[in-house]
Amino acid sequence: MDDADTANAGQKKSSPVVMIAALAVLTLIAGGGGWLVGGMLAPAPVSAEEAKIIEDARAAIALKKAGQPQAAEEGGKKDEGLPKIATEANGVVQLDAITTNLAYPTENWIRLEVALLFKGAPDVAMAEQIHQDIAAYLKTVSLQQIQGPRGFQYLKDDIEERVDLRSEGRVTNVIFRTFVIQ
C-alpha cells in the first residue's frame, strides 16, 4: 500500500517549470497570431503622391468651409469638384424647397424637396407651375393622411399623379429628396 500512496503523490505534484514553459509557448502563439492578423488588417502605407492628393483635398474642403474661393491650379482651371447629377443638362430640374403648414393640425409644418426628371429638354416654366401646384396640394393634406409608410406612399402617388397631369407626360419621374414633418 505504501507503493500506491507514493505513486499517487507523484501524479498530484506538477512541476512549476512545465507550467511556465506551457504558458510561454501559449503566449508566443497568441502574440504571433495577433501580429499576423494585425498585418492583414492594417492599411498599406500611403505613397508620397497619394499623400499630396489627400492634402490638396483637405485644403480645398477647408477653403470651402471658410467661404473662400478656391485657388487656381497650375493649368489655370479652377477645381470644380464633383459634377452635380441634378442639372438641367441632364433633364433634371430641382425645385425649391416647399415649406407649408398642414391643413390639420395647423401647427404642424411640412418641408418637401422634389426634383423632376423631364423627357427631353426641361421646361423651367412648367417646373415652376408644378412647384406651385404641389405647394397648394400640401396645404390641403392632414397629418393623419400622411402618417406612416402607407401614408407617405399615398402622398407620393398623389403628387406623381398631379405632376403627370400638369406636365402632360413630359415629366417621367418625380424624385423625392427630403420629406420632413415638424
Report, as an integer, the average pLDDT of 84-99: 79
Across the range 145-163, mean pLDDT stands at: 93
> pLDDT-based confidence at 79, cuts 50/70/90?
very low
End-to-end CA distance of the chain: 89
pLDDT of 77 above 50: no
| pLDDT band at residue 74 using 50, 70 and 90 as cut-offs | very low
pLDDT of residue 133: 95
Q: Would you state the CATH architecture of domain 88-181?
A: 2-Layer Sandwich (3.30)
Torsion of Cα atoms, 178 then 111 then 173 then 159, to 10°: 140
Is pLDDT above 50 for 115? yes
Q: Is the pLDDT of residue 114 over 70?
A: yes
Q: Which of the given ranges, 44-48, 88-92, 100-104, has the highest pLDDT on average?
A: 100-104
Q: What is the pTM of this model?
A: 0.54
Averaged pLDDT, 66-70 = 56
pLDDT at 104 > cutoff 80: yes
- In this structure, of 13-17, 24-28, 62-66, the range with the lowest mean pLDDT score is 62-66
Q: How many CB atoms lie within 10 A of CB 155?
A: 19
* Domain spans in the chain, listed from the N-terminal domain onward: 13-41, 88-181
What number is the average pLDDT over the span 4-11? 55
Of the segments 3-7, 61-65, 72-76, 83-87, which one has the largest average pLDDT value?
A: 61-65
Mean pLDDT of all residues in 9-15: 64
- Evaluate whether 136 touches 130 at the Cβ level (below 8 Å): no
Neighbour tally for 62: CB within 10 Å:
10
CA-CA distance, 177 to 116, in Å (whole number)?
10
Residue 34: enclosing H or E segment and its boundaries? helix 16-41
